[in-house]
Amino acid sequence: MILDLTKTIVDQMAVYDGDPEVSLKQIADITRDGYQNSLLTINMHAGTHVDGLAHMLENKPMISEYPLDRFIGLARYVNDNEAYINHGESILVVNMQDSSLNKAFVESIIKTNIRMIVIEKDSIDQPTYDIHKLLFSHGIKSSYEYASRGRCHPRSRHKIIRVWHLATI
């Protein structure tokens, strides 16, 4: 099964606490102007997005420097309260049980070929962001606020085709 997990960008969509609000305003109308156009104001952490290694580590590539195939791959839906055993996937869609990823789970995935995790929440941990830094130091990117968890089933495998809006960090 192929899944696109991105959320639709809408005006005033939820953002990470303290970040600027999303604004999506129509600025031209077909009837009035002969074409349609909109103005989007969005920060890099709104909606479905990927945090690349440069988000919290110095001298690491920006998201725009990675080839697109790094964000496409076989994925498995897992719970973070269980040790992870790799079955050939490169992306994990993780059901977080708490406000931070389970550290034992994180330690089990950094020993594998996982290159990205995807969660429904807006962060994998809280300040001081130790889980972020641990994953990033092992080359594992993270994606947040994916859509439709109900379409992913525990222990099922999917081909993930897109998990972010434009981002540069």
Please write the tens of the pLDDT for every residue from 92-141: 989 999 999 999 999 999 999 999 998 888 889 999 999 999 999 999 98
Q: Nearest Cα to 159, choosing from 98, 63, 100, 91?
A: 91
This model's pTM is above 0.85: no
Please write the tens of the pLDDT for every residue from 5-49: 788 899 999 888 899 999 999 999 999 999 999 999 999 888 888
Name the strand (E) or helix (H) holding 161: strand 157-162
Which residue segments constitute the domains of the chain, with CATH numbers given? 48-162 (3.50.30.50)
